[in-house]
């Protein structure tokens, strides 16, 4: 199943995200998604066979989109390791802030995928983790990051800053609106990069 399948597929995808986000994946039905698109349930079955197909589609789309952020950061070999991580964190936070519904479903309903699909998602996530750990180790070797700290745990902390935005960020204009996306991504990036940096005292 490919992530992009034309205009109608895109409408279905967007409707599924909205319905799963608002009603929760567990409670929502394929009928709810069909109603949201305004098509018959039978027509929806041209695109997917089960409700889980819609959920997995979301994971595929997210991974396809964040892959580009990782590739760009990895390719920026003219930058220092911490600068590559800075690029990565900023891109990932901006992506999450722009896709709060997808990211919410991603982290809430990961456990509801079947074992094979869950393994696929874990492998995709592992590639991001491996990039982070590898680059943190480079930064440690160059004295930019504290070599006494476990690089895997530092990567976990870095991902915390990226991921948890989906639980606290509110779009400006909503009742809890606090900040626009760009300055929020700037601040999260500053926080995570200071966290990774070697202590100067």
Which residue's CB is nearer to its own copies, number 121 or number 188?
A: 188
Structure tokens at 18: 């909205």
Shortest CA distance to 95 belongs to which of 182, 187, 156, 5? 182
Which residue lies nearer to its own copies by CB, 44 or 121?
Answer: 121
DSSP state of 111: G
Distance from C-alpha of 185 to C-alpha of 38, rounded to nearest angstrom:
36
Tokens representing 6 are: 């034309």
Stretch that binds its own copies, among 12-20, 36-44, 54-62, 189-197 (CB under 8 A): 189-197
Cα(44)–Cα(25) distance, integer angstroms: 17
**Strand locations in the chain, DSSP E?**
none
Residue nearer to its own copies on the CB measure, 16 or 133: 133
Min dist. Cβ of residue 160 to its own copies (A): 4
Q: Does residue 29 belong to the site contacting its own copies (CB under 8 A)?
A: no
Using CB under 8 A as the criterion, what x/- string covers residues 127-146 for binding its own copies?
A: -------------------x
Among 156, 172, 177, 180, binds its own copies (CB under 8 A): 156
Contact between 77 and its own copies per CB under 8 A: no
| Binds its own copies (CB under 8 A): choice among 157, 172, 180, 182 | 157
| Run of H or E including 110 | none
**CA 165, CA 111: separation in Å to the nearest integer?**
20
Instruction: Single out the segment in contact with its own copies by CB under 8 A; choices: 30-38, 45-53, 79-87, 187-195.
Output: 187-195
Question: For residues 127 and 187, which CB has a smaller minimum distance to its own copies in the complex?
Answer: 187
Q: Which is nearer to its own copies, 45 or 191 (CB)?
A: 191
| 180 φ, ψ (degrees, to nearest 5) | -75, 170
Q: Angle at CA 182, nearest 5°, toward 176 and 185?
A: 85
For residue 194, the number of C-alpha atoms closer than 13 Å in the C-beta half-sphere is 6
Note the residues at the interface with its own copies (CB under 8 A). 24, 26, 107-108, 111, 146, 149-150, 152-154, 156-157, 159-161, 163-165, 167-169, 178-179, 183-184, 187-188, 190-192, 194-197, 199-201
């Amino acid at each position: 199943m490919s992530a992009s399948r034309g205009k109608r597929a895109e409408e279905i995808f967007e409707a599924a995200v909205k319905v799963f986000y608002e009603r929760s994946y567990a409670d929502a039905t394929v009928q709810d998604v069909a109603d949201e698109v305004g098509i018959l349930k039978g027509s929806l079955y041209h695109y997917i066979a089960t409700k889980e197909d819609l959920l997995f589609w979301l994971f595929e789309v997210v991974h396809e989109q964040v892959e580009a952020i990782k590739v760009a950061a990895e390719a920026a070999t003219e930058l220092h390791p911490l600068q590559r991580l800075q690029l990565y964190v900023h891109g990932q936070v901006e992506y999450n802030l722009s896709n709060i519904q997808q990211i919410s479903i991603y982290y809430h309903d990961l456990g509801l995928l079947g074992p094979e699909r869950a393994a696929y998602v874990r492998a995709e996530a592992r590639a991001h983790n491996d990039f982070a750990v590898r680059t943190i180790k480079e930064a440690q070797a160059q004295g930019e990051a504290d070599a006494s700290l476990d690089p895997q745990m530092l990567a976990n902390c870095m991902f915390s800053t990226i991921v948890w935005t989906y639980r606290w960020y509110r779009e400006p204009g909503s009742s809890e609106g606090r900040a626009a996306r760009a300055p929020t991504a700037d601040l999260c990036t500053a926080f995570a990069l200071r966290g990774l940096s070697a202590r100067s005292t």
